[in-house]
Structure 1
Amino acid sequence: MTKEELLARLNDIEWDDFEVKEASGGIPKSMWETVGAFSNTAGGWIVLGIRETKVKSVSTYEITGIEKAEKMEQDIISTLRSVSKFNVPILATAQLLDFDGKAVLAFYIPASANKPVYFGNNLNNTFVRVGSGDQRATDIEIDILMREKTFGMKSEMEVDGTGFGDLNTQSIQTYRRRIKDYNPDFRYNDLDDEQFCIKTGIISRGKLTYGGLLMLGKGEIVQEYVPHFWIDYIEIPGTTYSDADCRYTYRMPEQENIWEYFKVLLQRLRLYVDNPFMAGPDGFSPEDNSQLYCLREGLVNLLAHADYFSPMHSAIRVFNDRIEFQNPGRFAVRISDKPGKVKSVPRNPNIIAFFRYARQGENAGYGIDKIMRWTKLTGLEVDFESDITSSTVTYPLPSQKGGQKGGQINIDTENIYADNQCNTHDKGGQKEVVRNSGQNQGEETRARIVEAMRKKPEISRRELADIIGISPSAIQKHIEHLKETEIIIRLGSDRKGLWKVLK
């Protein structure tokens, strides 16, 4: 930290990673709380030799300096590196700055890999950073810190009592088909399913890994070993819960595993962004420049970074003016300053590898660059927020998209699977049916079916279901509609025939 950077930080509004202390009488006792708080979150700077004066919630700062700065520096570094004060060594770095003869000490405290960090040999002396202050950790927060000991490792651990038979057969088929479509040169494409799972790390020594179970497992087996697994997707017809006409217009039903969630969520998010049809198996290229591509990277990041062992679950909330992706667990690194330049560390590295095999996500840690492309495409800033319990990425929606603006459209057949809380309103003594908001999903879905049939006349209903992200029965209803309106006809038998597009 330079003198210029220090002065700039004193003028910042947010101090979640920065703390000043006067230290006129020696090492301040409150320093240890801040050291622990930074160690337990994402790291930060502690600066000694600056006095803060607060009047009516407005702070001013004076550089007072400290006596015997070099001795204080050595005392603090020695204390942090030993285990006499804290339960683990803390490898801080120190800088001595001179302001017109006044010495200021700046210590950078890194995030610890051995959480929770506490002092005085007392777990109750565990502190976390909340905003610009240090707070004693709650029991829930300590539990979160305990789980962080397996950060980056848990998903690769083996699940005792599981095996190949606990995987969802349909999920394996659609996942492997996606790899063959998008990554035809993948070296394991020609293996049988079980060998494929062994080679890719879905199975280890005859057992499923946690990442493999979560990605492709049968629903009942996933719930047995990861009981809090659930990803909530909800569309709210307002800018807040309070100004919405009803609780929600669509809520996605539970899916069996991460892959099934991914397919449905990606198709649902299409409704809220520009997504020109591309020459890809599911209607867009894995490397296009659309808004949907940015959201897909955000979705993969959500799924790869979630703490699936937290009582909290992942959630995607679509409001009229924004889309929020919220995960249990903090960001692994601080990304508030220059998010476009951050290389993040995935909580579940094999899950992001599974997406990468299918070319549905960037190499681990680089997807943030693609998320930030949203700003270039829309002119609106993506917002990142994180604390010890959760992380939220918010995509503001362009005003013309306002996914739920206008409030009424035709209900599509796939919505029979959703719990719709906006079905009727009482208006002047009469019941008015309020349709799910968004674009005309039925027409868009049928247009995509027709486009897929043009490109591949022999395509099956199961393949269409995989591409569109709805059930085969819903696909069949759309096909019947297209036949009735004389847009398509079937030539030949159900098994060996072809689709012909008439219009």
Structure 2
Amino acid sequence: MTKDELILKLSDLEWEDFEVKSAKGEIPKDAWETVSAFSNTSGGWLIFGVKQTGKKFEIQGVNNPEKIEQDFLNTIRGGKLNVFVPTRQEKHTIDGNTVLAFYIPVSKNKPVYYNSPANTFIRRGSSDHRATKEEIDSMYRDQTFGTKTSEIATGTSRADINDTSLSRYRDYMSRFNPTVSYNRYGETDFLQKLRIMDGEQCTLGGLLFLGKRDTIERYFPDFRIDLLEIPGTSYTDTKVRYTFRLDEYENLWEYYFECIARLKSKVDVAFKMGNEGFATDVSPGFDALREALVNMLMHSDHFSPACPRIRIFTNHIEFYNPGGMPKPIEELKGKDISLPRNPIITKLFRVVKLAENAGYGLDNIEFNWKAYNNTQPVFDVDFDSVIVKFELEQKTAVKEKPEVGDSSEKLRFKWEEVRRNFGVIAERTQKSSEENIADLRGIYGVFTGYLELNFGKASEKLRNNFGITSERIRREFGKSSENKSSTHERMFLLLILIVLENNITAEQASKILNVSNRTIETYLSTLKDNGIIDRIGSRKEGYWQIKQS
């Protein structure tokens, strides 16, 4: 934090990531409440040497900055807190007064408290609040993020899986993802390989997804997905609490269909919808709500006392998801990070093409709702919950299928549609190379437009080094009557695969393009040497990236 940034912060009236303390001669006792709150919530700056009176701030400085700094750091390292809190510290001189600034990051080992668990604090608005028992329990569950629902539901068996739900799920998979390998398995292998069951017992995730309600309630006593339709813009704006409330259903799979049916009727859908919630043509508003629903079911903290809920008001729809995010929302969106709270549930939605292959689908939710309604959904992220709000007051709705070339936004929309339709790379290796190459040839036009729009330099290098142009693609590539493809075309197809899934392996690419691993390695080296792609990270854990310049 620079001196100018500090002064700018002092001009703000409210903040969640900034707290000032006078600390003129010593560290105030309530400083540790702020350390705990920042560690348990979203991190923030703790400033010593500034006095706040109401909305006014006075820079007083600290009398002995070296002592204050050492006392603060030694106390943090000395066992006052239950876990070590790494800090970053800075010193500024303003009008002759020394101000100390300490950055407290959000902890991976929440809850963070001082002296005893009773001294656990969280940040609400611009102040520190003592955490409730439920909030502390939520922090402990976050320590097992991504593992809790993968545990065994002790005492369960195949008899606790709902036969109708299982049959419906398998039928849905066979129709909407017919090439996925799981369709070939008998029931026992199907349940084991998707980890619905582990040995003779159900996993908690499998039970939630396809189990019998009576059994689910033994492990999740208040299991439900709450959906209310409220005849007003808020609870205070209505004379009755609700006009519709969703009944109880067996499991998450059955809840999905009931929720999607209600949501479908609340958006201006311009194209015909299938009963399972799939649009037969482009309907971005419905796609955004469907993605939000699936995200809520996948990422909810199902152990929380609160339940996932949907509130449909006359002018907006709210999705409430108990359980915070594993990382700040901007980082999840910017890096397309996939950190599911419930991996088994996430996979079960993904293999029937109801979920994105990576990340939280946040970009898709935003993009589709903007395309439909010309407004952005609002994400209200707290440490133990997430609310997504969709405005229903339509402004400039998209009433027709976007055409490539109309605008950069429509081109991006088309490319996202291509990504969804192409599916999961790992599952694509189960298809014949002829079918894969034909499908890749079918998206030449969209890809070249997407490449020009987002990676102009890479597109220019392709033209200069390989002669790959839109004209050549139309003239020479994509001849469906020919199964063979040239070296240049295969290299181009590999580039498409990299953009579809940047951590694709040489083995996967070789199966899809029907060439050897060594040939794929040669193609990758050629693309890398010509400055078109670059490798980020290690050979095992890294990924490929098209170079922007």
- CA distance 1:148–1:62, change in 2 (3 Å): same
CA–CA separation in structure 2 for the residues paired with 1:200 and 1:267: 26
CA–CA separation in structure 2 for the residues paired with 1:144 and 1:387: 12
User: What is the DSSP-based 3-state SS (H/G/I as helix, E as strand, rest coil) of the residue aligned with 1:150?
Assistant: coil
* 1:318-370 per-position Cα deviation (integer Å, ceiling 9, x unaligned): 00011011122334344489977785743223222221222212245331112
CA–CA separation in structure 2 for the residues paired with 1:85 and 1:184: 58
* 1:215-240 per-position Cα deviation (integer Å, ceiling 9, x unaligned): 11111111112112111111111112
Report the AA paired with residue 104 of structure 2.
I
Contact persistence 2:273–2:280 (CA under 8 A): no
Higher helix share: 2
- CA distance 1:275–1:13, change in 2 (3 Å): farther
Contact persistence 2:110–2:142 (CA under 8 A): yes
- CA distance 1:287–1:294, change in 2 (3 Å): farther
Query: What TM-score, normalized by structure 1, do the two folds share?
Result: 0.71
- CA distance 1:163–1:66, change in 2 (3 Å): same
Q: Which residue of 1 aligns with 2:234?
A: 240
* 1:224-271 per-position Cα deviation (integer Å, ceiling 9, x unaligned): 121121111111111122332433221111111111111111121111
Q: CA deviation at 1:66?
A: 3.6
* 1:413-469 per-position Cα deviation (integer Å, ceiling 9, x unaligned): xxxxxxxxxxxxxxxxxxxxxxxxxxxxxxxxxxxxxxxxxxxxxxxxxxxxxxxxx
- CA distance 1:362–1:313, change in 2 (3 Å): same
* 1:281-318 per-position Cα deviation (integer Å, ceiling 9, x unaligned): 84635995611111112112211222212222121110
Report the AA paired with residue 28 of structure 1.
P
Say whether residues 1:22 and 2:18 are aligned partners.
no
Contact persistence 1:97–1:103 (CA under 8 A): yes
Q: Which residue of 1 aligns with 2:100?
A: 105
Paired residue for 2:180, among 181, 186, 189?
186
Worse overlay, 249-258 or 280-289: 280-289
- CA distance 1:97–1:224, change in 2 (3 Å): same
- Mapping 1:140-159, distance limit 5 Å: 140-159=134-153
Q: Which residue of 1 aligns with 2:112?
A: 117
User: What is the DSSP-based 3-state SS (H/G/I as helix, E as strand, rest coil) of the residue aligned with 1:52?
Assistant: strand
Report the AA paired with residue 217 of structure 1.
G
- CA distance 1:125–1:283, change in 2 (3 Å): closer
- CA distance 1:94–1:315, change in 2 (3 Å): same
Q: Which residue of 2 aligns with 1:76?
A: 72
Q: Which residue of 2 aligns with 1:348?
A: 342
Q: CA deviation at 1:192?
A: 1.4
- Mapping 1:111-260, distance limit 5 Å: 111-120=106-115, 122-260=116-254
User: What is the DSSP-based 3-state SS (H/G/I as helix, E as strand, rest coil) of the residue aligned with 1:188?
Assistant: helix
Q: CA deviation at 1:280?
A: 6.8
- CA distance 1:320–1:287, change in 2 (3 Å): same
Q: Which residue of 1 aligns with 2:496?
A: none
Q: Which residue of 2 aligns with 1:42?
A: 42
User: What is the DSSP-based 3-state SS (H/G/I as helix, E as strand, rest coil) of the residue aligned with 2:16?
Assistant: coil
Contact persistence 1:277–1:284 (CA under 8 A): no
* 1:42-70 per-position Cα deviation (integer Å, ceiling 9, x unaligned): 3222233333232xxxx133444445545
Report the AA paired with residue 264 of structure 1.
E
Say whether residues 1:394 and 2:394 are aligned partners.
no
Contact persistence 1:231–1:313 (CA under 8 A): yes
Contact persistence 2:332–2:360 (CA under 8 A): no
Contact persistence 2:333–2:359 (CA under 8 A): no
Report the AA paired with residue 255 of structure 1.
Y
Q: Which residue of 2 aligns with 1:385?
A: 380
- Mapping 1:416-435, distance limit 5 Å: none
Aligned CA-pair RMSD: 3.1
Worse overlay, 61-70 or 124-133: 61-70
User: What is the DSSP-based 3-state SS (H/G/I as helix, E as strand, rest coil) of the residue aligned with 1:90?
Assistant: coil
User: What is the DSSP-based 3-state SS (H/G/I as helix, E as strand, rest coil) of the residue aligned with 1:172?
Assistant: helix
Contact persistence 1:115–1:148 (CA under 8 A): yes
Q: CA deviation at 1:37?
A: 1.2
- CA distance 1:397–1:205, change in 2 (3 Å): same
- CA distance 1:33–1:22, change in 2 (3 Å): same
CA–CA separation in structure 1 for the residues paired with 2:359 and 2:2: 28
* 1:2-29 per-position Cα deviation (integer Å, ceiling 9, x unaligned): 4444444444454223222232223232
User: What is the DSSP-based 3-state SS (H/G/I as helix, E as strand, rest coil) of the residue aligned with 2:178?
Assistant: coil
- Mapping 1:264-413, distance limit 5 Å: 264-277=258-271, 282=276, 284-285=278-279, 288=282, 290-335=284-329, 343=337, 345-373=339-367, 374-388=369-383, 390-399=385-394
Query: What TM-score, normalized by structure 2, do the two folds share?
Result: 0.65
- CA distance 1:168–1:156, change in 2 (3 Å): same
CA–CA separation in structure 1 for the residues paired with 2:158 and 2:212: 10
CA–CA separation in structure 2 for the residues paired with 1:187 and 1:16: 48
Contact persistence 2:48–2:62 (CA under 8 A): yes
- CA distance 1:104–1:209, change in 2 (3 Å): farther
Report the AA paired with residue 212 of structure 1.
G
Contact persistence 1:279–1:285 (CA under 8 A): yes
CA–CA separation in structure 1 for the residues paired with 2:103 and 2:352: 40
* 1:78-124 per-position Cα deviation (integer Å, ceiling 9, x unaligned): 43244x1111112233334455665443323222233322112x222
Report the AA paired with residue 86 of structure 1.
L
Contact persistence 2:346–2:355 (CA under 8 A): yes
Report the AA paired with residue 106 of structure 2.
A
CA–CA separation in structure 1 for the residues paired with 2:373 and 2:207: 37
Contact persistence 2:61–2:99 (CA under 8 A): yes
How many residues matched?
Answer: 396
CA–CA separation in structure 2 for the residues paired with 1:246 and 1:276: 31
CA–CA separation in structure 2 for the residues paired with 1:107 and 1:25: 17
CA–CA separation in structure 1 for the residues paired with 2:53 and 2:281: 52
Contact persistence 1:336–1:384 (CA under 8 A): no
Report the AA paired with residue 24 of structure 1.
K
Report the AA paired with residue 397 of structure 1.
L
Structure 1 segments unaligned to the other structure (5+ residues): 402-503
Q: Which residue of 1 aligns with 2:53?
A: 53
Report the AA paired with residue 143 of structure 1.
D
User: What is the DSSP-based 3-state SS (H/G/I as helix, E as strand, rest coil) of the residue aligned with 1:275?
Assistant: coil
Q: CA deviation at 1:34?
A: 0.7
Share of identical aligned residues, percent?
Answer: 45
Contact persistence 1:315–1:326 (CA under 8 A): yes
Structure 2 segments unaligned to the other structure (5+ residues): 397-549
